[in-house]
Structure 1
Amino acid sequence: MNNALTGLGLALVLALVAALVGPWFIDWNAYRDDFAAQASALVGAPVTVSGDVDARLLPSPYVRFRGVTAGAGDARLEASEIEITLAIGPLLRGEAKAERLKLVRPVLNLAATAGGVLTTPFGAGARGARDADRISFERAEIVDGALRLATPSGPLALTAIDGVAEAGSLRGPFRFEGAATTASGRATFKLSTAKADDLGVLRLKLAASLDGRPETFDLDGALTIAAKPRFEGQASVARPETKSDPKDSKAKAEAAPWRLTAKVAGDGARLAFDSIDAAYGPDERGLRLAGKGALTLGATPRVDLAFGARQLDLDRFAGADRPKTPLGVIEQIAARFAGAARPLLPGRITIDVGGVVLAGDVARTLSAELVANDDVWRVARASVGLPGDARLAASGALVFVDREPGFAGKIDFAAGDLAGLRRWLQGGVGEGGRTAIRRLSVKGDVSARMGGLAVDNARIEGDGAVTSGRLAWRGAEDGQRAALEARLTADKLDLDALGADRLVAGLIRGADTDVAVTLDANALTLLGVSLRDVALDAALDADGFEVRRLAVADAGGAKISGRGRIGAGAEGPEGRLAFDVDAQRLDGLIAFARAIDGAGGAADVLARRAAALQPAKAAVELTTGAAGHRVTARGSAAGGAFEARLSTPRFALDADMDMALELGSPDGRSLAALVGLATSPVASAEGGRLTLALKGAPASGMTGDARFAALGLDLAAKGDVAFAPAERLSAAADVTLKSPDIAAFAEALGRLTPGVTPAIPVDLAARVAVTADQAAIETLTGSIADRAISGRLVVPFDARAAFEGEATVDEAPAAALLALGLSPEGLTAGTKSGRSVWPSAAFGPSPLRGLNGRIAVSARRMPLGLAEPATDVRFTLALRPNATSVERFSANLAGGGITGSLDLSRPGLEATLAVKAAAKDVRLERLTGLGVASELIGVIEGTVEAQGSGRSLSAIMASLAGAGSATLRSAAIRGLDAAALDAVEPMIEQGLPLQAPKIAGALEALIGRADFTAPRLGAPFTISGGVLRSGAIVDEGAAARLGGGVSIDLSRLALDATLTLGPRRADAPQLGVAFQGPLAAPRRKLDATALTSWLSVRAVERETKRIEVMEAEIQQRARLARERAAAEERRRAEEQRVTDEKRKADEERLKELQLLAPPQPTLPPTFDLAPPTEGETQGGR
């Protein structure tokens, strides 16, 4: 037994040694044909091994072949080297499982026929196909492989394949991850499949992406393995959104996400696409189309696709920063599809979209058919409905040059609402252009691209008017100037409707564009101007400008003719242009001027003065040469003759110029209008002259003088002026203004009513500085109405801003301020009525209406209509368009001071006056001018606030309402002696009749002997309906007592005061004192009614007192008698008491004696025969 075991072990050792050592001594190349035969049986095709063969059995079976070829012709498999390492366990079970498989430079060549039949190196009856389930590999490494497919249309290839694959069997499942080089670059592939079923259907998923690119390709479906393979499934190509520079349109386009998915079904001959979903852009604002189609393979592959959508929103797709015009949006979007400039395959694409949102409107029913052939896109048909009831149809070739789209073909365009279409084309700005044409149609042969357009054989029909000829435009590019060519003949032509107004405006503003125009039109519209009988032959290029013929019978009211040429000479431009203008109206010329002056400022100035200038005639001549340029104009305008000239070495703001203008006219209104002054039609307007002379460079400064002498005004200026573009207008000049009657000038301007204001002479001088924003009047000196004035004023040119200034005057009458705020005619003294001392004339327009600003005023004196004027006056005159205010008013007055404010508002025909005032330490007697002779003396302190409204000053005073308080210190009322009241009673006792008139008459002679004085009198007051009514008068510290109230009718300046006067004691009498009549001289009246009543009461009181004294005396005597009787009675009672007590005592002693003495015989009683006393008699009663 041991020997047997020993022998078996020795056999195993020898076998292992043979397996390990044997391969090193075996020549495997000798078995090359055997290996090739086995491989041929396995793949079903002849296999040859031309290189070395290496093999070993341990530790795992391993074999390596070099120079392997399988198959022949176009379908073959080649490999430089194949390494196979087999697993021992599966091999012992009859299965071939490669633990490791390495293919070095394998090349698989396949061939496909036009019918889709695929030829491979593998035979259908191969043993590998029969034993497919028993053959697998865990890891197959492919190094530098290639896959080549020969097709009737040309070869396709994947090269430099590197990757790793695995297979559960030769029927699957398979997995591959690797990379390969494609026609578009290096790509990464991931492939996974299920196991093929008995029918050869293999489910697979493929994902591929180009290195460095975000796009991905995914395929998911079923591949039927057969001689004519077929695929059914879902395919998608997508690019996710990536970050990019928002300013780089190309990078932005490449960063935009897109996605294309479809159901795919077909074989090598034809692939059908269904449920196509094409999306471009972010999901929330992208473009999306649905469709279907087919890809036909074979010798001449082609693709046919049909797309459609209910609506495409190009505005949302372009984003919030999109251009406003439809062409701008299209240009921006078209740049993103420049990659489609050349079609990849021949074919046809149709697009049908219900609506396209573009530039804020909807283009309707977009339909297009694009045919790709010979690397060119052709538009077989295209049509779209545009805003403005427009329709565009086109056919021709669509080409891309340098990523920009272009078109060459025929167009047929018609618009039923041209204004609406232009408004849309302009991005919704304005009203669609200045055109009267409503319907327009254009037909012709078009060559168009982003930078140019040409229409040959053009037929343009607008509202029945036909124009024919050629139009061409080329944008500036490659160093070339833009060019415009027009050769047109028309009965009626609206160039504005064609967009030429913007082109012409650009040319006039100096655009670098070559223009050649030949035009004959019976009626023409350009820049909003209707022209009649127009003939033009002109050219503009870099060498100069030539007008061979210009004749316009009517250009907005003007007849124009001219010719000439200015070209390039040896030393610069040289030539001559001459024009004749005969304008009954200047409307057309103003429209052209507005086009020349882009901002419209100068044209607006001319438009505001057109009525004054027309009719006008002028002969204008421009000559230029080596000596410079000269422009002259002579003719008539503004009702008079004018001459203007300008000479300069070159037309530039920094060039020296010599310009002059002289205009004389008897029509002062026209002259006033030329300098920007509006005149009243009811006032006289004296004519005169307007002159201007300037020398120098406008940008740096010109020196000269100007004068306006008309309307009774002589205004002259001498100084410097500049017109620098950056700083705009600036000037500094010494200005003088003289007039014998500035009121007449104000009447001519409608600021004053003619014939109301007296003559006001003016003589002023100032330094005036003008900038782009304001005019500053400095060092103003002179006189107005023979009153000295000085100050300054700054006036901004912005109508919304307020001017500000300062003024120092010798005298500023308060009446003049009221006249400025209310109107002079409203203060005319001759218009007073019996019910008011104030003028009752209705207010006219305020001379200060419409002004907005503030002027700080100081005046040496201000007459107030009182005996003394206010002095050292300071206030701010605040002006608003419908109001005038005097703010922060302060002044010295009659030894004291006054402060306050005054507001005058004029919202309509009525005026509202609001006043606030306060007085302190003002001597009343100085205001009246009577001094010590004044009826009322004292120092005034008080405040008042009042407001009134009306159409006249009398109405305002009659409506005043307000309140205040007044105090009179050191007060004295002349001829009002309260001591006179005490002298009346003795006169009554002496026989003066107790009658009020008699007593008042007696007091008149007594009351004037002294004055009423008080340290302080005060009372509050209210104003209502133009009447001031005081409260109870309070007198402080006066020897006499003063009471009552005061009423002043402010409309009539009438006083109605009812006072009470009396001595300051409890039982003092009171006298009624009334002051009535004009406030300046009231009448005093004494009312002794109350005093008479008091005296009557005093008389009754005296009689009553006498009777009371008599009664008191009687009562006193009766009282004394009663007191004496009572005393006597008390005495007698006392005596009786004493007598009674004595008697009782005697009786007691008698009883005691009787008791002690023996009894006596009874005696009869004694009788008292004396007469009774008076007391006893009364006591008996």
Structure 2
Amino acid sequence: MKKVAVALAVLIVVVVAALLVAPSFWDWNREKGRMAALVKEHTGRDLQIVGDVSLRLLPTPAFSAREVTLANLDGGSDPAMVRLEELQVSIGLLPLLRGEIQVKSVTLVKPEVLLEVLEDGRANWQLAEAAPAAAAAPGGELRSGATSAAQPIRIDSFLIEDGRLRYRDARSGREELVSGLNAELAAASLVGPFAADGAAVYGGVPVEFDFNLGQLVEGGATAVSLSLQLPQAGASGTFIGALSRHEALRTLRGRLQAEGADLARVVAALPLGAGAPGALAQPFTLTAEVSASNTEARAEAVRVTLGPLSLDGRLAARLEGEPDITASFSAKTVDLDALLALPARAMREGEGNGSTPRPAGTAAPPSATGSAAAGALPRGFSVGVELAADALLYRGQTLRQLQVAARLEDGRVDLTKATLQLPGSSDLAVIGTLSDGAQGARFEGTVAAESDNLRGLLQWLGVDVAVVPAERLRRMALNTEFEAAADQMVLRNADLRLDVSRLTGGAAIALRERPGLGLALNIDKINLDAYLPQQDAAASVPTPSPSQDPAGPQEQAPPAVAPPGLPLLGRFDANLDLRVGQLTYRGLPFEGLRLDATLQQGGIVVREASVADLVGSRGQFSGSLANVDRDPSIDGSLDVSVSTLSRLVKALGLSTGGSLPLESFTLSGAVNGNREMLRFDQRLAALGGSLHAAGKLQLPAGAPTVAAALEFDHPDLTILLRELLSDPGMPAGLGAAAVKGRVAAGGTEVALSGLEGRLAGVELLAGDLAFSLSGPRPKITADLTTGEMPLAALTAPAAKGASSGNTRSVGPATAPERWSRKRLDLGALRVVDAEVKLSAKAIRADKLRLTNAALEAQLADGVLELRRFTADSYGGALSVTGKADARDAAAGLQVDAEVTASNVELKSLLRDLADTERFSGPMTLQSRLTTQGASQAALIGALGGDGTLTGTVTAAAKVEEQAGALVLDILGKKVKEIRGVTDSTTVLFGAFAGAPAKVSGSFVVEKGVAQTNDLKVRGRDATALTKGSVDLPDWLLDSTTDVVRDADPDNAYLTARLRGPLDEPNVAIGGQPFQRSPQPPAEESGGGQPPTAKDEPQHKPTKPEEILKDGLKNLLKGLGG
């Protein structure tokens, strides 16, 4: 029996051992399908086990599976929700035999868990509920209604090795990542106590944690504690409190505490915390009494310290519905100087976003917030914040009463209050709203600032205002609407008052790759001189002298070549509408300034750039400027009006070196081109006339050149020249002027060509003028072809001086007044050279007329050479050559001239010069004259030379003279007393009247006196010989003409003596006809009695004789004068 018992025991042991050992030899890989089906039944997800599956019961029950994957929701971002490289589970055997579950260890090797919310709101951690079991499992069936809490389960160790947890919300684009998770968890039961500790990397920041939770009880409190460590930042935080559980309420209360030696290291370790300000590099602490429930959370007695800074406040949050958080913090004093004085801390290797550098070629981890939500304000909750500080110490002064109140709600932040008292009796207030939309965050609000001592405020801000006069920068007040966004900043309805000036308008800045600027400003008045440095202050700045250069003389670097444009203007676009009512700059009073322009892609469209008044002048430009950033060009119109040029020049501080030729003018027209060539079409209107110029201005590296067509027009050239030359003695009656041509100028050369029109009564048929500065003296070259030239009009005296020129000389006493003794100004002949050619259809001086005139002259080095002057003169020809030397300033002018007049018709000449036609016939004059002197009187007094006069002359008697001769001839036969007169009349008229008479003679001029001894007029039966002199200095004539008959060649038949002023000499006639014979005695017979007085006629019986004598005088004057 004993052996049977022993055998039975051995058999039982063998059977039990077989049952315990058999699972180890079972191929559990064949059970993968059943395992997947079981998971599918309870979760609704597919389970895939790629690696081996094993199960053993001895020595302890253990299960393992490799390469396990749990499928994700349909439509998820990843096919797998959970991936495990290996799962290991070990359960205690003896407790299991007692009906207890003691999990000795659970190990997850490299688990990857994805928790995500899809765009339709489904969460992948929400698993499908398991269907009711239809039949019991092969190993038995669970009791219906059993709960996990009713079954004692203990977990001694739950290990996670190198885990990775991702959270993704497709609706907001938010992504979170926990990587490098290594932790161990323990639970005495499913209701606690719980303990967990480990380390992970969140957002690139290594974190160590230690969590403990007591056993959960209903209706009581459970102790809870959490400790966090940031190893790289040297900071830690703890929470110690209690968790209370009631039927409808869960509450958490405790004390929160955090501290660290360097807040900057904490911030630098956080995402986006690189480059933390040095002010944060100080020890910090945080303490608060925290309470939370299902409906609300509070943090009372909150205190935050950062170095010497201390903030006190409270937090409250309503958790029902949409969470609502309110916070209030205050500080007594905040020393910003001490905070900002701390140097910025350089980030050490391994700090910041991640503890180790990312291997090359790997993708960056997702940011804390997705790109879709970048810059978006959070929604789904509201936050209200109030901040207050009694004093802020900044830049050595105290800022007082900082108050800020803001609220975040429905994706919008309302800044209801932000005020601060600044130094300089200044206040700042800001209110507005920060919102977000499709274009990102946007702030809209108003800014109000006021200062009673702006100078002090600016000095506090570090702005150097020493150069601004002390009476300026005193008061300032600003009110404006303000808008700021990621893409632009806008000021609207701005109203700035600065001292006595007021600025209104708005501004906008587009913050894009190519910035844009918009300005619409209106300034009522501003005196820039009142804000600019005073001249004496600027002059007091010492300028280093060359001797102070410690480096000594050294080679000068070549000057930098300035860019042709303004590159800055090519980097942004702008719209400008600027108006200034009154502006004073450098003493210039500008009024009505306006700039309306657009800058785009380096081009400027100027709709209006104008000044309404500048000391009586105005100007305006409109058009466009292209490529201002690299190669500027201009295309527009200019309109300038100057009322008083001298006043404008004086206001501009320019030096004119004398009087200005113009006082008022207008200039208008088009201008276009670039820095190399400028085209223009301008009209200058001044002094009642106009000058139109259209052409181009070349602007090479050297001297500029200009080529243009000119049109000049003026109704009265006399008035124009009197104004331009400031000479009231200009010739009167020059008349209208209208000339056109072309001008070409460059460097030292100026040329006028193609001149035509009418100038000073002269028709200009063709003409070229040139002016050159290339030689030792300026040189003028002229080649002109004209119509008739009225010299009288060109040389007519001014009206006020006309009477003096018409005063007749009555004798030698007035001679000094005829020739001026004022020294001639010959300087112009020495400072300029000239080449002149002139062709004129006619030259007219009063009634004197020369036709087909041609002139060639040269002026060089003070010597004027008349190479040729020819003209047709009254049927003859006139030729003049000569030279005038002005090189010797002391000697004056030395003149040498030759004059030839050939075959000049006397009748036409005397008709024009003396208004008589009594003499006719061709005459020829040849003369050579010289003189030297420094005045008119000296030149006349030094006149010398000689000449000849030849030709024929025909004298015609007047009708009354012929009638008188006939009467006298009749009477002479009857009256013996007048027979001599009739005889002389008969002789003269017979010899010289009505028939050509040959003329010949010569003359010599010495010291201004012309003398002749052989001037003869050979008549038919008589010869008139004239001897005499013409004294030009004294303006006197003294001549004697003897008429000799061929019948009596040794005795003068008649003698005419001319003496007195040259233009009105006294004439005396004598000779044989006027010598009376002795009276014979009266005959007694014949009965004739002498007539009595009463028988004498009442009129003078000699009147016919007087008439004849007058004729004789005129005839003899013509023959001898």
Q: TM-score, normalised by structure 2?
A: 0.39
Q: TM-score, normalised by structure 1?
A: 0.37
Q: Name the one with the larger helix percent.
A: 1
